[in-house]
Amino acid sequence: MLELDDLTLRIGDLTLVEGLNLQLRAGQLHVIIGPNGTGKTSLLRALFGELPLAQGRVQLRGTPMKPHSLSAWRQGIGYMPQNTQLDLDLSALEVVVLGRLQRLSMRLSDDDLDAALAALQALDIAHLADRPVHTLSGGQRQMVLFAQVLLRQPQLMLLDEPVSALDLKHQMQLMEHLQAQTAAQGWISVAVLHDLNLAAQFADQLIVLGDGRLQAFGPPAQVLSSELVHRLYHVPVDVLHDLDGLPYVRTLRATRMEPHPALASR
């Protein structure tokens, strides 16, 4: 369990997130949704120990996060930040092996290399293994960094917009892998997504942030409503349900473009 108790985050005079209480369970995929600038990235950074807590407590499996022992805290965390720029003179395989950094001694073991290759294969990107990472496309980099955090075998997985550069096939591949491994390995996974339909399809629990506060928390079928989406994003939507009862969001246009009169008469 990851417990957030009365968490408040500030940068200077700006309060980013206030009074957040959450209990996130092992084996579940939690997806944070919410408008731009509402504190999603800041929350992940705080959970990784990159942004100090202004107030409140965070505990992972009973162990509190403490400012003087952050490197120990981070050992159990797979963190994939939003920025996936990789100006390194390393191959994709070498970048993935860095996921084992906390365990690497002077030499790489065959086991480390096998695990890195297996992670690339599981994500269908083994063909990228020898490519220098600075030559990869944005989507390829994102997949390689995902393989790297998988290799950490984290207790807590923090992913900031992990599919933002991915095509449809790779979005599904990454999310399916994350969901399956979270359940199988008992990870506590937290991912920020902007795509509400992807969030509804894969989240066990949605964490809905708006105006720096928790607006809703729970399974997508209970949480996602037209009223909530409209209140958050000020966009008219219908929230419909598929045959499995999963919600999906259809955006509605408030106005329709009329053809220019000169074109309409043609």
Instruction: Provide the binding-site residues for ligand ATP, judged by CB under 6 A.
Output: 11, 14, 16, 34, 36-42
For residue 258, the 8-state DSSP code is: P
User: Smallest distance, Å, CB 264 to ligand ATP?
Assistant: 39
User: Smallest distance, Å, CB 80 to ligand ATP?
Assistant: 14
> Buried (b) or exposed (e) across 5-34, using 16+ Cβ within 10 A?
eebbbbeeeebbbbebebebebebbbbbbb
User: Smallest distance, Å, CB 220 to ligand ATP?
Assistant: 19
Please give the distance of CA 249 from its chain centroid, rounded to a whole number. Answer: 20
Query: Would you call 195 helix, strand, or coil by DSSP?
Result: coil
Please give the distance of CA 196 from its chain centroid, rounded to a whole number. Answer: 13
Q: Which residues contact 124 (CB under 8 A, 6 or more apart)?
A: 173
Beta bridge partners of 158: 79, 190
Q: How many CA atoms lie within 13 A of 220 on its CB side?
A: 26
CB of 139 closer than 8 Å to CB of 85: no
User: Smallest distance, Å, CB 9 to ligand ATP?
Assistant: 8
The sign of the CA dihedral 150, 63, 65, 4 is: positive
Which H or E element spans position 55?
strand 55-60
CB of 92 closer than 8 Å to CB of 121: no
Q: Which is nearer to ligand ATP, 36 or 265 (CB)?
A: 36
Q: Which is nearer to ligand ATP, 1 or 11 (CB)?
A: 11
Q: Which is nearer to ligand ATP, 47 or 143 (CB)?
A: 47
Q: Which is nearer to ligand ATP, 97 or 208 (CB)?
A: 208
User: Smallest distance, Å, CB 17 to ligand ATP?
Assistant: 8
Q: Which is nearer to ligand ATP, 11 or 101 (CB)?
A: 11
Distance CA 210, CA 20 (A): 12
Q: Which is nearer to ligand ATP, 233 or 248 (CB)?
A: 233
User: Smallest distance, Å, CB 32 to ligand ATP?
Assistant: 8
Q: Which is nearer to ligand ATP, 11 or 104 (CB)?
A: 11
- Residue for token digits 């950074």? 45
User: Smallest distance, Å, CB 62 to ligand ATP?
Assistant: 27
